[in-house]
Amino acid sequence: MTRLLIVHYAGDYREADRLRRATGGETYYGHGYVLDQLAAWQAKHEAVGFLCSLAPSYWETLDSGVTVIGADTNPDQDPVPVLALIERFAPTHLIVFGPMLHLIRWGLEHDVRLGVIMADSFANPYYRWVRFRRLPKLLNDRRVTLVANHGANAARALVGIGLRADKVLAWDFPHDRTPETQACKARASGPPFTLLFVGSISAKKGVGDLVRAVALLKDRLDVRLDVAGLGATDKFAALATRLGVADRVRFLGLVPNGAIPAMMQEADAVIVPSRHNFPEGLPLTLFEGLASRTPVIASDHPMFDGHLEDGESALVFAAGKPRALADAIARLMTDPALYARVSQGSAAGWHRMQNPVKWGEMIDRWVRDDAEDRAWLSAHTVAALDGPA
């Protein structure tokens, strides 16, 4: 009988289930989808579990029969509690979600069917050559029977650090919010012009660059910035004060995912300013920004390459350059023709980002593992996607 365990670095699926039962909503995009997939698998298999390493310590069974587990530990710094919980669950099938080397090694050393799924870019040299220099050898091992990364560019990045192209897949969640459901925008509604950032609040995500861009625009353009998410809020609120734009920057805290589409539609621009050293896979904010038809201003992060066309489906600026970001904001807000063109072109960008391999089907086929499933997985690897070199 199949005992499937998925191990995450962060998250808390006990809380995600509680929230959905209480409100019908979700804090983060995809939580409801994952819970539904887990419940469907539980109905077919002996046991299905989801372990979140950083979540508070618990071991509970949801109404669906799915086991949710919290380890209350950082698996990179202290993997022992996580490994003990894995052994207690006794999986026949183990998916390690993220480049958690200790857990991958455990899977290789035990008689389990092992898969590794990620949402990391490995564009950062530190990730590639220092922290994860041993990752390619581990994942190329024949005992790792599923390797996938979030988005085509992220999958190719794994090949770039030494993984076999015929082994790596690009995956995604389904995206029900599409640009076809929204009207195009003819021009910005300001001044004041409203900018929206959604994501983790950190320097690598470009929040400092965005606050500095607002400061650079102080005497050029009347802009207001809303920042939704958790992280180093105090640090960047202090930066806004120091730069004299505290009255132009609002930190909203964690906003439920269901409220984000309306916020994006009401904004004049959605900003995705990730620096190259942030290990993006393919941020969901980018999908939702494009689907909202509000023009997106995004950095030139390698994981966005090929999806966004500057001046057509988005405005693209040099990552880590606040002045370049400020210029892009000013250019968009003062040129109605450009604004309308980017809003119109957002649909093309959204469709370029779509991926036929969805998280649930990919795992379902990997667990079932019949000849048709193996052929389907093989047909969606980077080698099949890109063809002969």
**DSSP code of residue 56:** P
Half-sphere exposure of residue 25: CA atoms within 13 angstroms, side-chain side:
9
What was the pLDDT predicted at 133?
87
At the topology level, CATH places domain 3-175+355-386 in Rossmann fold (3.40.50)
CA 310, chain centre distance (Å)? 22
What was the pLDDT predicted at 128?
65
Residues of the chain with pLDDT under 50: 389
Least Cα distance to 234 among 251, 218, 248 occurs for: 251
Q: What would the pLDDT profile of 198-241 be if each residue is shown by its tens digit?
A: 999 999 999 999 999 999 999 999 999 999 999 999 999 999 99
Region of 194 on the Ramachandran plot (φ > 0 left; ψ -120 to 50 alpha; else beta): beta
What was the pLDDT predicted at 388?
62
Rounded CA separation 96/293 (Å): 35
Rounded CA separation 27/270 (Å): 19
Are 312 and 335 contacting, i.e. CB atoms less than 8 angstroms apart?
no
CA 32, chain centre distance (Å)? 15
The residue behind tokens 């609120």 is 237
What was the pLDDT predicted at 126?
66
Second CATH level (architecture) for the domain 179-352 = 3-Layer(aba) Sandwich (3.40)
Rounded CA separation 64/50 (Å): 13
Give the tokens for residue 344. 């119109």
Domain boundary assignment for the chain? 3-175+355-386, 179-352
What was the pLDDT predicted at 257?
87
Least Cα distance to 268 among 241, 289, 299 occurs for: 289
Looking at residue 365, its amino acid is R
Are 279 and 124 contacting, i.e. CB atoms less than 8 angstroms apart?
yes
